[in-house]
Amino acid sequence: MQKILAAAGIASRRKCESLIVQGRVKVNGKKIKLGDKADAIQDLITLDGKIIQPENKVYFVLNKPRDYVTSMKQSGKKTIKELIKIPERVFPVGRLDENAEGLLLLTNDGELANKIMHPRYETYKTYHVVLDKKFKHHNRLTSIKIDGKKVKIKRYRNLPKGIEIVIHEGKKHIVKRIFAKLGYKVQELKRVQVANIKLKNLSKGKMRALTKKELRELRSLLKIR
C-alpha cells in the first residue's frame, strides 16, 4: 500500500508508511496496516476520507532562492509552495536550508524520491560554498567525522569565490557542520547538482521539467526500471 500511495504522489514511501501506521488510510472503507496490499485501480483507497487517484508522474527542478523554506505547507515564512505554478501535486526530494539556495528536485514519484534520499544509493550532491575566510584545511577535509561517522567526500576543488564539494550525506545542516568542524562559518550555500541533474542557468525562483535524457539517466543511476 505504501508503494501505491507514493506512486499517487502523496509523499515518499517512508512517509506513507507513517500515514498507514496512524490509521489514516483505508481500503474499501476499512483501515489497513503495514504489509496489506490493494489494487490501485479496482480498490477504493482513501486518505483521511479523500479518494486517492493515480497520478501521472512528473519531475521538475526548482532553483530555490534564499529565505524560502522547503515546505509545501502554509506558514508565517515564505515557502517553496509559492514558487510552484503547476497543476500537479508535487513534493520536494530532500530539503535545502532556509538561507541556502539552488537545485531542489520536485516530483510525485515516491519511489524515485525515496531512492534519492536513501543512503544506500549514495546519490551525490554538489555544493558551492562561500566561507567567512579563505579555506586552508584541504588536507583535513576528507577526514571529517559527523556524529562519529566519517563523511564521504567524493571530491572538492577551489572556486574563484569559495569551494565546491561533492557529498552524498543527507544529514541536516551537513555542509555547515563539515566546515564548522574546521573552524569556518558558511556565509553562502548553493546546491548546483543532484546525481546527474544540473542547475545550469535556471533563474532563481524558476522551474523546469527534467528532460527525457536526464530522467532516463537518473532512473539508471537509481536502478529503477
The pLDDT of residue 61 is above 80 = yes
What integer pLDDT is reported at residue 116 of this predicted model? 93
Considering the domain architecture, whether residues 105 and 211 belong to the same structural domain is answered as yes
Vertex 195, ends 123 and 168: CA angle to 5°? 30
Q: Specify the amino acid at residue 70.
A: T
Query: Per-residue DSSP letters for 121-170?
Result: G---EEEEEEESS----HHHHTT-EETTEE--EEEEEEETTEEEEEE---
The total domain count for the chain is 3
Give 96-144 pLDDT, tens digit per residue.
999 999 999 999 888 899 899 888 888 999 999 999 999 999 989 988 9
Q: What is the mean pLDDT of residues 74-90?
A: 89
Which CATH number fits the domain that encloses residue 80? 3.30.70.580
pTM tops 0.75: yes
In a domain, 79, yes or no: yes
Active site residues: 97
Give 157-212 pLDDT, tens digit per residue.
999 999 999 998 878 899 999 999 999 999 999 999 999 999 999 999 999 999 99
Q: Specify the amino acid at residue 8.
A: A
Which CATH number fits the domain that encloses residue 181? 3.30.70.1560
Domain region containing 158: 124-194
CA distances to 7, 19, 30, 161, 210 from 107, in Å: 10, 19, 29, 32, 10
Spatial separation of the C-alpha atoms in residues 172 and 16, rounded to whole Å: 21
In a domain, 47, yes or no: yes
Percent of the chain at pLDDT above 90?
67
Considering the domain architecture, whether residues 106 and 210 belong to the same structural domain is answered as yes
Distance of CA 157 to the CA centre of its chain: 24
Considering the domain architecture, whether residues 135 and 186 belong to the same structural domain is answered as yes
Considering the domain architecture, whether residues 42 and 66 belong to the same structural domain is answered as no
Considering the domain architecture, whether residues 131 and 87 belong to the same structural domain is answered as no
Which CATH number fits the domain that encloses residue 28? 3.10.290.10
Spatial separation of the C-alpha atoms in residues 89 and 170, rounded to whole Å: 24
In the structure, what pLDDT confidence band is assigned to residue 76 with cuts at 50, 70 and 90? confident
